[in-house]
């Protein structure tokens, strides 16, 4: 699995295209996120992950390369909408990745397939499995092996309209920490 850091480095450096600048202005007007440290907020139980996530969310993300100490950030939106390819939802993230002095457009698409009892299976856009998701207690830990690297994620629902996600990535190719705060957009 590639991270935003990987995708950003493959993009041509330079100014972001016009739609990205518009997105940034829109988010400045709609979004005032201050990421809380993951794990320091009481979890908010969610009986149905797909029903909870359906809609549009603002994202603030910090990205840290633990080997070099280099830090970046991602600011954008996530939309969970019906998947035209079948049952479930598409999870589409779009925004800007700031890495050093450069700004890159960044995006990803995942698929969320609801399961009985309110849980879900998360997959990549091409159909490969990523991880399970169970927010019934308000907190979930997921693990995804990616070649020789290991992704460990912690999802914490902090309220009816806010949730946090932390991914720790370790292995021979990467040592990263990604912390994200999501807030529902109206």
* 23-32 tens-digit pLDDT: 443 444 344 4
**What share of the chain in percent tops pLDDT 70?**
78
Spatial CB neighbours of 1, under 8 Å, sequence gap ≥ 6: 124, 130, 144, 146, 151
pLDDT band of 39, cuts 50, 70, 90:
very low
Q: Read off the pLDDT of each residue in 64-88 and give the average, rounded to a whole number.
A: 95
Q: Read off the pLDDT of each residue in 130-153 and give the average, rounded to a whole number.
A: 97
Is residue 120 within 8 A of residue 101, CB to CB? The reply is: no
Q: Read off the pLDDT of each residue in 125-135 and give the average, rounded to a whole number.
A: 96
Is residue 143 within 8 A of residue 124, CB to CB? The reply is: no
């Amino acid at each position: 699995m590639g991270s935003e850091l990987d995708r950003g480095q493959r993009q041509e450096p330079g100014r972001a295209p016009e739609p990205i600048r518009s997105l940034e202005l829109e988010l400045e007007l709609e979004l005032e996120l201050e990421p809380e440290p993951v794990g320091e907020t009481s979890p908010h139980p969610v009986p149905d992950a797909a029903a909870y996530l359906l809609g549009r969310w603002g994202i603030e993300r910090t990205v840290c390369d633990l080997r070099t100490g280099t830090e970046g950030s991602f600011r954008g939106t996530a939309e969970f909408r019906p998947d035209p390819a079948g049952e479930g939802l598409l999870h589409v993230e779009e925004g800007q990745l700031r890495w050093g002095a450069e700004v890159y457009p960044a995006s990803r698409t995942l698929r969320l397939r609801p399961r009985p009892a309110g849980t879900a299976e998360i997959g990549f856009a091409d159909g490969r499995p990523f991880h399970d998701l169970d927010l019934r207690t308000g907190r979930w830990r997921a693990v995804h092996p990616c070649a020789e690297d290991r992704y460990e994620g912690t999802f914490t629902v902090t309220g009816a309209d806010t949730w946090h996600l932390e991914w720790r990535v370790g292995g021979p190719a990467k040592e990263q920490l990604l912390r994200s705060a999501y807030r529902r957009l109206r």
